[in-house]
Structure 1
Amino acid sequence: MKKLTLFFLSLLALSLGFQACDDSKTYAEMLEEEKDGINDFIKKNDFKIISQSEFYAQDSTTKSKEKGDGVDEFVQLASGVYMQIVDKGSENEADTVKNNDEILVRFMEYSILDKDTALSNLSAVETVDAFRYTVTSSSIAGTFLQGYMMTYYSSPAVPAGWLVPLTYVRDMAHVRLIIPSKMGHQTAMQYVYPYYYDIRKYQIWK
């Protein structure tokens, strides 16, 4: 009788284990959930998505309600990042981000799937996030020197999506981004989470 009871208990534990496995999401399912989340976020906020050819035809700019255009445009880039340039920054075309520049950033990070603000330094008067921008013949990268992002996510690596706008903007630019997990920080990649960023200032520290 004891052996029979032990057998059924083992069978029950095994079936529960299989059920737990069935409840976990595959990577493909997580990617699909991410895609749906981004699409819902775009639809909810009534963002207009334009192509890269449209973006270049507009002198690499996007429209925004903040500028009085009546519409918020985002260009969908090949990397999967959606970008809105609210303000290109300095009128001096020489004020571009260059190799080894230190960049100060004021930002707000919003978790699209959690539907909540995850992190922000906009009201932190005495604290600003800063990173070093480096360019090689084959890649670009950013390394945090200080700030909320480095502390909160325990990593000095700047999300690749944050670096995408630097090709198109200058000192003191204001940019908004929808960044899929593959272009995000380590936590975003691990959990397949997309984030929305309102980066109020890319300031070149001189």
Structure 2
Amino acid sequence: MAVGLLGVMTFTACSDDDSYAERRDRERSQISSFVKNGTCQISEDGDTLLYVAPITVISEEQFEAQDSTTDVSKNEYVYFESRGVYMQIMEKGSGDKLEDGDTRTVLSRYTELNISSDSIQSTNNNSSYANEPEVMTVSNSSGTYSASFISGLMKSLYESTTVPGGWLVPMPYIKLGRQDGNPIAKVRLIVPSTEGQQAALGDVYPCFYEITYMRSR
């Protein structure tokens, strides 16, 4: 499987007769199945590209009681009901959080899986994009986060500077440091179409993401 190139895009076709409500119902079923079963993506050479075990879902209340952490050994994901997003914090990172009133340039590496088709749709975690991370500006205004892509695969692939809302859900909980021998923030997300990129929003399909975040110099 070749991933990370424009030709990898595998969007889900829907019948013109499907109502939006029917598409959303199907999307919720796809997410439920993904949570229950996970996925394993194998390359043509037999290498594991992405493995997600069956997920243990915890509430926001439990997440807060655990000091805003998810137990990776139990494959815990917190479910944010108001957003429909599931999040696992694999590494909180080093450095500082994005404080109120701050704007920073953030660099990201990611893998995007189309849950509907159970296939990797795009990734910049390969040699083709070794020098091309996602570059975005992220702002915090009284706890409301906004962001725009400056450059990277997501911007060119979906022809939009809009950062998916789901990508910003981790911001209150992670630190934006530099690598420099220190761990950088890393999360996994299940993102419904309503919090996703332009194609997902239009065609109504959910995506799974593994993303790292660090500040630019």
| TM-score interval for Structure 1 and Structure 2 normalised by the shorter chain | 0.7 to 0.9
Match of 1:57 in 2: 65
Q: Which structure dedicates a bigger proportion of its chain to strand?
A: 2
Unmatched runs of 5 consecutive residues or more in structure 2 = 1-14, 39-53, 177-183
Residue 138 of structure 1 deviates from its aligned partner by 8.1
Match of 1:80 in 2: 84
Match of 1:89 in 2: 93
Structure 1 residues 80-136: Cα deviation after superposition (integer angstroms, max 9, x where no partner): 11000011011x4xx112422000000000000011000000112111111001233
Residue 79 of structure 1 deviates from its aligned partner by 1.1
Match of 1:205 in 2: 216
Q: Give the TM-score taking structure 1 as reference length.
A: 0.82
Q: Which structure dedicates a bigger proportion of its chain to helix?
A: 1
Unmatched runs of 5 consecutive residues or more in structure 1 = 1-21
Change (3 A) 1:202 1:23: closer
Match of 2:196 in 1: 184
Match of 2:20 in 1: 27
Change (3 A) 1:181 1:23: closer
3-state SS of paired residue (1:165): coil
Match of 2:105 in 1: 102
3-state SS of paired residue (2:171): helix
Contact 1:97 1:204 in 2 (8 A): no
Higher RCO (CA-CA < 8 Å; seq separation 6+): 2
Match of 1:36 in 2: 29
Match of 2:207 in 1: 195
Give the greater-gyration-radius structure (CA).
Answer: 1
3-state SS of paired residue (2:109): strand
- Determine what percentage of the aligned residue pairs are the same residue: 36
Q: Give the TM-score taking structure 2 as reference length.
A: 0.78
CA RMSD of aligned residues (A): 1.5
Change (3 A) 1:60 1:139: closer
Match of 1:10 in 2: none
Residue 174 of structure 1 deviates from its aligned partner by 0.6
Work out the number of aligned pairs and report it.
176
Among 147, 159, 162, the alignment partner of 2:164 is 159
